[in-house]
Amino acid sequence: MHSFVELIARKRDGLPLGSSEIRGIIEGFSSGAMADYQMSALLMAIYLRGLSEDETVALTFAMLHSGKVLSLPEVPGVKVDKHSTGGVGDKISICLAPLVAACGVPVPMVSGRGLGHTGGTLDKLEAIPGFQTSLSTEEFARLVKELGTCMIGQTKDIAPADKRIYALRDVTATVECIPLIVASILSKKLAEGIDGLVLDVKVGRGAFMKNVEAARNLATALVRVGTSAGKKVTAVLTRMDTPLGLTIGNANETREALEILHGKGPADVLACTMLLGKEMLMLGGVVANEAEATKKLEAAISSGRALETMARMVAAQKGDARVVADPSLLRMHSAEVSITATRDGFVTALDALELGLSGVAMGAGRNRAEDSVDHAVGIELHQKVGAQVRCGDTLAVLQLRKASDADKVKERVLAAFTIADEAVAEGPLALERIVSR
Amino acid sequence: MHSFVELIARKRDGLPLGSSEIRGIIEGFSSGAMADYQMSALLMAIYLRGLSEDETVALTFAMLHSGKVLSLPEVPGVKVDKHSTGGVGDKISICLAPLVAACGVPVPMVSGRGLGHTGGTLDKLEAIPGFQTSLSTEEFARLVKELGTCMIGQTKDIAPADKRIYALRDVTATVECIPLIVASILSKKLAEGIDGLVLDVKVGRGAFMKNVEAARNLATALVRVGTSAGKKVTAVLTRMDTPLGLTIGNANETREALEILHGKGPADVLACTMLLGKEMLMLGGVVANEAEATKKLEAAISSGRALETMARMVAAQKGDARVVADPSLLRMHSAEVSITATRDGFVTALDALELGLSGVAMGAGRNRAEDSVDHAVGIELHQKVGAQVRCGDTLAVLQLRKASDADKVKERVLAAFTIADEAVAEGPLALERIVSR
């Protein structure tokens, strides 16, 4: 084993690192033998020199085995999870997990919190009074077995090296690096004891990947490395130029996700849920083809079984299950400020990034990991791309603790709407699909 | 002012940093606002993306102004120092500083300690009983004025940011980076209050720069940046394939340097001293040309004035000045182990790197900055390149605390000698000379 300095020098010079060397690095970092400042120099060298697929697989496994790895042998069936690379208004996990579980595919889901302009599933779920996202790994396994799904946060047992490395990347300009993103995502997801994984790789203004090529590179790397790890992996590239659905916040997004399980909710949220649900059922092996998957998902909603799974999960995780039956119980702050159109025309663009950042500025999200969020502030969109509006029409409503809190964001929210003379058609939700070889 | 993360990202992407941004980085690092792990990520980005000449000047000044900057207005004349990039057996500073001072050019000299295979002037000077290298900057200035020279170590006042950055570079594989080397050397040297600087850039097996091109690039950058800082700068590239002189160690090297001031000593040590001394006298403006410089240096030795300056300096720095008059008082350990030739032939190579590392292994140098050195262990060379030897002739003598300490290095020292059938001529000492534009 070479010294850490020699290994950093190797990557600095563009030379490959072996699996045992990468394992030695992560073990050394975990034990404290390798310092933070050495890891950050290595991360920058990786950012600029890259990692091969073999190196990325080795890094993923080393980070995975820095913590506890669940195997869930007591849960029968092909266990499948979904991961989204993050977008604005992306509340899909909340309705997707119980829906897919109700169709017979177990969904052990470990989610994250919001950071930057994107929201996080845990923050949204915690808008349900009492809902607990910090369960032990034993409790998690028990609930997945009993209910078919459970949704928790990354415990300190799961890939602790990833947690520390992510924190370093965040402050050393090494976040946007495909092999490091792949290892971070997969080391956490492989720790859940899954057999298959559906990846929703977002692309566009409101996503981390701004163009299709970058998103495709990330999706391809995720699928390859996940497949090398022995998992069935499917990635779909979906558009994230405008927010998903009509809500941006926490309680309001959870309400919108629950409405999907009631057979209601916005068309784009339903479409994204169905798209990812079909992929999960196919990976789970409970359907023969896409048409059968669609039928099964629709039946789980119309029969109320998906809603029932959600209610049982919420109750088991100490949440107030009445909100599942009546999502309108998820209240927002009562101070409302309307944003109105300043001209006649058609909404031709709705900037997800600006709306996401406005939500963060209002207190719905975080700039730093240690910030807390206000579950009851948010933005409700009244018009989306394609809508015809007249000057004075309400475009959006800001929901706040007090009306004056709107001052710092209302110009920004208005500017997020582009209104033009001619209507434009929105492109399709799904752009590409990348599957295991 | 951008955040540190944004500035790291700029350099990561190969974009230039402005002077005020670089100053902000060093100020932030000094105050603790920028963390070690952020600096090390930036250092790796600089290693891989480079710094322009303007950026290097800005970094040098920012590091310089992280501490106290002497101006020595009370010392008349053009003040000139010498810096060597480090070699094996390089004891030149010890005889050069008093020699040049005796010729009327003030030499305020801040030196370093040995690290890795190269020795350090401070360690060698401290072989003189009682000699103090930690003086206050006020005391330093007073002695330069009174005696014409003073030799101290880097105080905590001088370029403290450089000290911390150097320690980080050492453990993050970012040492061998020309702009960082330039900023490190010059930020310390500019803090001494000098007007001119002669740089001895070593090139070869025993130097950090292994080939002439790398050494020329470093020398050119040092001269350009030093000139931009308003100083007169001359660099010479000198060969460092074999050790300078016949001694490697501390007390023995100081003894050899003192012998030069007695008009004795090995030819190569004298030649290097004269070469650098001429450059210093020319920068100091006390001679019109090289021939005049040679005459002045020779006269300072033959008249005893250089020796007298050395004796006054040693006494002023609390050292035992009797060793100046009688260098043989600088004793080595009495256990001696001879290394003998195993064949007849001519010495055609003498590996400075291997001999330097052997010296470190014997205790004469340091692997880590916190190690201490033994001033009385060392290697005495009996044969150098060009010598004809017979099997059984003594090539070198190891001087140790006990003879068994030789076991771990004697093979290595023997292997450092290449003995062949045909003699080869050694190349010239000085390879190139680079001056201010």
Does position A80 have pLDDT exceeding 80, yes or no? yes
pLDDT, one tens digit per residue, over A309-319 is 999 999 999 99
Q: Is the pLDDT of residue A296 over 90?
A: yes
* Minimum-distance CB partner of B173 among A12, A39, A173: A12
* pLDDT bucket at A137, cuts 50 / 70 / 90: confident
pLDDT tens track for B393-402: 999 999 999 9
Q: What is the pLDDT of residue A306?
A: 98
Beta-bridge partner residues of B435: B234
Q: Which residues in A lie closer than 8 A to residue B8 (C-beta atoms)? A: 44, 172-173
Is A35's CB within 8 Å of B8's CB? Answer: no
Which pair of structure tokens corresponds to residue A203?
A: 């692309």
Contact between residue A238 and residue A218 where contact means Cβ atoms under 8 Å apart = no
Report pLDDT for B116. Answer: 75
Asked if the Cβ–Cβ distance from B45 to A44 is below 8 Å, we say: yes
Shortest distance between the Cα of A79 and any Cα of chain B, in A, equals 39
- pLDDT reported for residue A105: 98
CB atoms within 10 A of CB B51: 23
Is there a contact between A174 and B5 if contact means CB atoms under 8 Å apart? no
Q: Do A39 and B37 make contact, defined as CB atoms within 8 angstroms?
A: yes
Q: Which residues of chain A have a CB within 8 Å of the CB of B171?
A: 4-5, 35, 37-38
A41, B174: Cβ pair inside 8 Å?
yes
According to the model, what pLDDT value does residue B196 have?
Answer: 96
Q: How far is A128 from chain B (nearest CA, A)?
A: 36
Contact B38 A171 (CB under 8 A): yes
Take residue B70 and report the two structure tokens written for it: 């002497």
What's the pLDDT score for residue A157? 86
Say yes or no to pLDDT of B227 above 70: yes
Question: Model confidence over B203-214: pLDDT tens digits?
Answer: 999 998 999 999
pLDDT at A437 over 70: no
Closest-CA residue of B relative to A8 is B173
The minimal CB distance from B5 to the residues A4, A42, A173 is found for A173
Judge whether residue B415 has pLDDT over 70: yes
Put simply, the answer to whether A173 touches B6 (Cβ < 8 Å) is yes
Look at A156-160, B65-69, B258-262 and tell me which has the smallest mean pLDDT.
Answer: A156-160
**What is the Cα–Cα distance from A187 to A160, expressed in whole angstroms?**
10
pLDDT, tens digit, for every residue of A321-371? Answer: 999 999 999 999 999 999 999 999 999 999 999 999 999 999 998 877 778
For the cut 90, the answer to whether the pLDDT of residue B370 exceeds it is no
- Which residues of A participate in catalysis according to the annotation? 83, 162, 169, 184, 188
Chain B residues with CB under 8 Å of A174 CB are 12, 41
What B137-142 contacts at long range (C-beta under 8 Å, 24+ apart), as own/partner pairs, is B137/B68, B137/B70, B140/B70, B140/B108, B141/B70, B141/B72, B141/B74, B141/B75, B141/B108, B141/B193
Q: Which of the residues B162, B200, B268, B405 is marked catalytic?
A: B162
Closest CA to B230 of B278, B195, B276: B195
Q: Please give the mean pLDDT across all residues of chain A.
A: 95
Quote the pLDDT of residue B156: 84
Mean of all residue pLDDT scores within chain B:
95
Active site residue B195: no
pLDDT tens for residues A177-220?
A: 999 999 999 999 999 889 999 999 999 999 989 999 999 999 99
The tokens describing A371, both together, are 């910030």
Q: What pLDDT, on the 0 to 100 scale, is given for residue A372? A: 86
A378-381 vs A394-400, strand pairing mode: antiparallel
Q: What average pLDDT does this structure show over B79-86?
A: 95
By percentage, how much of chain A surpasses pLDDT 90? 88
Q: Does residue A91 or residue B120 have the better pLDDT?
A: A91
Distance from A25 to chain B by nearest Cα, in Å?
Answer: 13
Judged by CB atoms closer than 8 Å, whether chains meet at A38 and B12 is answered as no
pLDDT at A155: 82
Judging contacts by C-beta atoms under 8 Å, the chain A residues touching residue B39 are: 37
CA dist B89 to A121, B118, B242, B378, B401, Å? 65, 8, 9, 10, 20
Per-residue pLDDT, B437: 66
CA distance A45 to chain B (A): 6
Residue A436 backbone dihedrals phi, psi, to 5 degrees = -55, 145
pLDDT value of position B137 = 87
ipTM above 0.90, yes or no: no
- Cα–Cα dist B217/B210, whole Å: 12
Question: Are residues A92 and A244 in contact, defined by beta-carbon separation less than 8 angstroms?
Answer: yes
Contacts with A40 from chain B: Cβ below 8 Å: 37-38, 40-41, 44
Burial profile B114-145: b = 16 or more Cβ within 10 angstroms, e = fewer: bbbbbbbbbbbbbbbeebebebebeebbbbbe
Q: What share of chain A is helix, strand, coil (3-state, %, to 5)?
A: 45, 15, 40
Q: How far is B9 from chain A (nearest CA, A)?
A: 5
Distance from CA of A41 to the nearest CA of B (A): 5
Look at residue A279 and tell me whether its pLDDT is greater than 90.
yes
**Counting one residue from A and one from B, how many pairs have CB atoms under 8 Å apart?**
84
Look up residue A89 and give its DSSP letter.
S
Residues of A with a Cβ under 8 Å from any B Cβ are 4-6, 8-9, 12, 35-45, 47-49, 168, 170-174
Quick: pLDDT tens for B160-199.
999 999 989 989 999 889 999 999 999 999 998 899 999 9
Q: What is the pTM of this model?
A: 0.85
Residue B149 one-letter amino acid? T
What does the pLDDT read at residue A118? Answer: 81
B chain contacts of residue A41, beta-carbon cutoff 8 Å: 40-41, 43-44, 172-174
Of A5, A12, A37, the CB nearest to B37: A37
Query: Among positive and negative, which fits the CA dihedral A21, A26, A27, A29?
Result: positive
Lowest mean pLDDT among A156-165, B218-227, B407-416: A156-165
* Residue partners of B319: CB distance under 8 A and separation at least 6: B125, B128, B129, B130, B131, B132
DSSP state of B72: -
Task: Kindly report, residue by residue over B294-330, the tens digit of the pLDDT.
Answer: 999 999 999 999 999 999 999 999 999 999 999 999 9
CB-CB: which of B8, B49, B171 is closest to A172? Answer: B8
**Which chain A residue has the Cα nearest residue B171?**
A5
A47: nearest CA in chain B? B12
pLDDT, tens digit (0-9, with 9 covering 90-100), for A209-246: 999 999 999 999 999 999 998 999 999 999 999 999 99
Q: What sign does the dihedral B179-B185-B189-B195 (CA atoms) show?
A: negative
Cα first-last separation, chain A: 34
At B15, which amino acid appears?
A: L
- The DSSP symbol for B406 reads G
Q: What is the pLDDT of residues B111-127, one digit of tens each?
A: 888 777 888 899 999 99
Q: What is the pLDDT of residues A3-25, one digit of tens each?
A: 899 999 999 999 999 999 999 99
Gap between the terminal Cα atoms of chain B: 34
pLDDT band at A1 (very low <50, low <70, confident <90, very high): low
Least confident of A138-147, A230-239, A334-343, B67-76: B67-76
Q: Which helix (H) or strand (E) holds B64?
A: helix B53-64
Which range has the worst mean pLDDT, A132-141, B245-254, B293-302?
A132-141
